[in-house]
Amino acid sequence: MLALLAFAIERPIYYVLKNVLKRRRPPEVVPDFTSIIRASDQFSFPSGHTMAAFLLAGLAAMSIGVAAFPLYIWACLVAASRVILGVHFPSDTIAGALLGTSIAYGVVTL
């Protein structure tokens, strides 16, 4: 139930930030750059995939402690993949990681 609440908070924050900040994606900004995949939405900041991955890892860590460490490795790989695929800048994924972790912490400590 806590995870549903966390995602119910995370998704609107993600959506508002994307559509207010409207940061263009790497292929639109970097000359002669082509991404490997097509992004699922128009704007880049923050990375929603990374935000959700770190939200899940954060919730797990606060629930099961050190046993959640593999989820942080997975979340870091999600973040790296978004940059490697060319749909995000590193700062998009760093912000997503910080936001996802912060929301997890906030929901657990409410």
- If the chain, 110 residues long, is cut into consecutive pieces of 10 residues, what is the mean pLDDT of each piece? 92 96 93 87 93 97 93 98 96 98 94
Domain 2-35+45-109 maps to which CATH number in 1.20.120.1200, 1.20.144.10, 3.30.565.60, 1.10.3720.10?
1.20.144.10
Whole-model pTM?
A: 0.91
Location of structure tokens 């657990």: 108
Separation in Å, CA 43 to CA 3, 24, 30, 60, 81:
26, 5, 14, 29, 17
Cβ–Cβ under 8 Å, residues 13 and 55 = no
Q: Would you list the domain boundaries of the chain?
A: 2-35+45-109
User: How far, in Å, CA of 75 to CA of 11, rounded?
Assistant: 17
In this prediction, residue 35 carries a pLDDT of 87
